[in-house]
Amino acid sequence: MPPSLRFLLLLLVAGSGGATAAAFELEEATIDSIHRAFAAGELTSRGLVELYLRRIASLNPALHAVIELDPDGALAAADRADAAARSSSSALPPLHGIPVLLKDNIAAAGPLNATVGSLAMVGSRPAGDAGVVERLRSAGAVLLGTASLSEWCNFRGPGIPAGWSPRGGQGKNPYVPSATPCSSSSGSAIAAATNMAAVTIGTETDGSIMCPSSFNSVVGIKPTVGLTSRAGVIIISPRMDTVGPITRTVSDAVHVLEAIVGYDARDAEATRMASQYIPEGGYRQFLNIDGLRAKRLGILRKDFFWFPSGSVQQKVFSEHFNIMSKIGAVLVDNLEIPSMDVINDAVQSGERALMLAEFKLSLNYYLSELATSPVRSLSDIIDFNNKHRIEERMAEFGQDYLIQSEATNGIGPNEKHAIARLNKLCKRGIEKVMQDNKLDAIVAPGASAHSLLAIGGYPAITVPAGYASNGVPFAICFGGLKGSEPKLIEIAYSFEQATKVRKPPSLQHSII
């Protein structure tokens, strides 16, 4: 157990340290409700941090949502936020005093490791904050620590359980512990679902925000690639990777999105191109309760809505479609994306070949920029794993993708062919379907459209939609073309407010 988590167990035993937080209802607290409590003198940022630290200490031994914490740094930052609130007569920043957990592949200056769950990366230190961390701090956020994930963002090799890493252990779905927490941002979604932090940050290559958000009944925004900086983030693919919020409400996710978007010279090409999509006045203006009215939504029946007749999912989505129609949405049903069988096959589409080459390039560049690190290349990491076979469970899981990636030599003819194939699949697929049908968004269940949206760097918002007969959550996904976040926010927020599906997990099985 990392020292910071041992500290929290002692804190749990010692009890709460802040009387100002005693009456505050932590469960399902939102950014707005926290700020109202701050303004009313009912809560301080320090008191809030202490509440979250105690909750993490209580729940994390069972759920494995958090890898590492910086309690001293978080409490110091909270004290600064409280002092600023007392002395300032001007408006406070939008995330003032709000605790945040970062996925463990996002670097932050200070004592926290960013290890992607790998023991090989322990002791690495960045020269400074990741681009999104700089923006979070500027917006007033308080960094609590790092959330668990699938080791190497689920790109070490096939067959490794989702949410497992040697540093974090096996993340658990808080609704049904035997169910998958799904994909690599699992810790961020588990922590958000169980109120371990007001805000968590995830990253996605192909499904890693959408899928854990769906299975843990939280809201995930996968932004257009380049809208948020990847500088200081360990990624797999510059073409597909994006950083986004995972929270309990659409409103909170939009608050965070607005804070973290923008140009970053360290990720210049992608963020410069995507900056054109950032609306004047920000994203919160699109939290419109009537946002579904007159929106044209394309329902991708074939290959997506395959639920048996009479199943919970079939009934729930039918009800949701009726609600959206009554609100004023125009549903364009029975749409089909050409070549979905190819898009969903990473080898056929060319996605796998490109990811293998891009991962090596991206990782080696990230490692070269670190101030200190025990490893400096993908080759070093492969060697480390071979020397630490028991801790890394090499006999069970291997490291096939890492080895295949190491064998690549940059973006050559094979990778360029893959890029051309992916571009063609995008233009003849989602882009043509949306343009031909004049759609504002496509609609799919859960994360089923993850590859469709990943290969072109398109955005999506997942919102809780229901709970299966066994209690496992599922979501609805609204996706669109690049830069369509304003429309997707209107649609997602309006749907959320009309249905109000989300409920917190019971957690009796999770408390020590």
Over the Cα atoms of the chain, what is R_g? 22
Q: Is residue 492 part of a domain?
A: no
User: How many whole angstroms separate alpha carbon 175 and alpha carbon 468?
Assistant: 11
Contact indicator for 47, 20 with CB cutoff of 8 Å? yes
Give the other-Cβ count within 10 Å of 22's Cβ: 11
User: How many whole angstroms separate alpha carbon 246 and alpha carbon 212?
Assistant: 9
pLDDT value of position 90: 87
State whether 62 and 191 are in the same domain.
yes
Contact indicator for 181, 212 with CB cutoff of 8 Å? yes
- Count of CA atoms in the C-beta half-sphere (13 A) of 88: 12
The DSSP bridge pattern shows strands 99-103 and 199-204 to be parallel
Closest CA to 193 of 213, 170, 221: 213
State whether 315 and 455 are in the same domain.
yes
Could you say which of 4, 185, 188, 208 is catalytic? Answer: 208
**Structural domain count of the chain:** 3
Q: Is residue 208 part of a domain?
A: yes
Structure tokens at 218: 């939280």
User: How many whole angstroms separate alpha carbon 217 and alpha carbon 251?
Assistant: 15
Contact indicator for 79, 127 with CB cutoff of 8 Å? no
The DSSP bridge pattern shows strands 330-332 and 296-299 to be parallel
CA distances from 288 to 14, 254, 372, 496, 499 (A): 44, 12, 46, 11, 15
pLDDT value of position 207: 98
State whether 332 and 357 are in the same domain.
no
- Whether 208 sits among the annotated catalytic residues: the reply is yes
Q: Is residue 509 part of a domain?
A: no
User: How many whole angstroms separate alpha carbon 420 and alpha carbon 116?
Assistant: 30
State whether 150 and 267 are in the same domain.
yes
Helix (H, G, I), strand (E, B) or coil at 103: strand
pLDDT value of position 3: 47
Q: Is residue 496 part of a domain?
A: no
State whether 379 and 438 are in the same domain.
no
Closest CA to 132 of 68, 245, 228: 228
Q: Is residue 505 part of a domain?
A: no
State whether 216 and 94 are in the same domain.
yes
State whether 305 and 179 are in the same domain.
no
CA distances from 10 to 2, 13, 94 (A): 13, 5, 32
State whether 399 and 280 are in the same domain.
no
Identify the segments of the chain with pLDDT beneath 50: 3, 7-19, 511-512
Check residue 41 and give left, alpha or beta (phi > 0: left; psi -120 to 50: alpha): left
User: How many whole angstroms separate alpha carbon 149 and alpha carbon 121?
Assistant: 14
Could you say which of 45, 58, 148, 184 is catalytic? Answer: 184
Q: Is residue 508 part of a domain?
A: no
State whether 301 and 387 are in the same domain.
no
Q: Is residue 88 part of a domain?
A: yes
Task: Note down the domain range covering 315.
Answer: 296-341+428-483
User: How many whole angstroms separate alpha carbon 461 and alpha carbon 490?
Assistant: 11
Q: Tell me how far apart the terminal alpha carbons of the chain are, to the nearest angstrom.
A: 15
387 burial class (0-12, 13-18, 19+ CB within 10 angstroms)? exposed
Q: Is residue 502 part of a domain?
A: no
**CATH code for position 208:** 3.90.1300.10
State whether 321 and 399 are in the same domain.
no
Structure tokens at 500: 């109000």
State whether 163 and 304 are in the same domain.
no
Could you say which of 58, 103, 148, 150 is catalytic? Answer: 103
Proportion of the chain above pLDDT 70, given as a percent: 95
State whether 101 and 53 are in the same domain.
yes
